[in-house]
């Protein structure tokens, strides 16, 4: 019988997953506060720094891996937007003095990171 081969995810799947994580971050910052107004139980999740930290710890390495595998890191738009997005998400999640600015920093960071993955996905199609 043949050897089993490790299935390598395509960079398009990695970009899509990273965009999805950015969307989760945006939902966490924008939707959960609205739910908090009506449902006090969700307030625990809305204000939880741990949730934001976990999302960043998943999104950052996944994004770097996607950019590295695709070679997109060589494009200044991808590395610039992606790097700045990861940086903003990281300082919003892990630097307590910026806690009052956590939501705006996270929103901008998530949008920049999603834009980098969008550039990466469309760049690859343009090269085909």
For residues 89 and 113, is the Cβ–Cβ distance under 8 A? yes
Please list, in sequence order, all residues whose beta carbon lies within 8 angstroms of the beta carbon of residue 38, skipping any fewer than 6 positions away.
Answer: none
d(CA 94, CA 12): 29
20, 12, 8, 48: which is closest to 113 by C-alpha?
20
pLDDT of 89: 95
pLDDT tens-digit readout, 21-60: 888 877 777 776 666 666 655 555 556 678 889 989 998 9
Specify the pTM.
0.66
Quote the tokens at residue 57: 């710890």
pLDDT tens-digit readout, 79-89: 999 999 999 99
8-state DSSP, 48: -
Percent of the chain at pLDDT > 90 equals 29
Task: Please give the average per-residue pLDDT across 112-117, as a whole number.
Answer: 91
């Amino acid at each position: 019988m043949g050897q089993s081969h490790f299935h390598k995810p395509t960079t398009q799947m990695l970009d899509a997953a990273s965009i999805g994580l950015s969307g989760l971050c945006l939902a966490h910052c924008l939707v959960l506060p609205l739910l908090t107004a009506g449902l006090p139980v969700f307030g625990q999740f809305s204000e939880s720094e741990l949730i934001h930290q976990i999302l960043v710890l998943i999104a950052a390495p996944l994004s770097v891996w996607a950019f590295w595998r695709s070679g997109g890191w060589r494009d200044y738009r991808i590395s610039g937007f992606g790097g700045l997005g990861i940086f903003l998400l990281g300082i919003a999640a892990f630097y307590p003095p910026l806690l009052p600015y956590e939501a705006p920093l996270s929103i901008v960071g998530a949008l920049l990171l999603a834009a980098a993955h969008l550039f990466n996905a469309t760049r690859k199609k343009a090269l085909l």
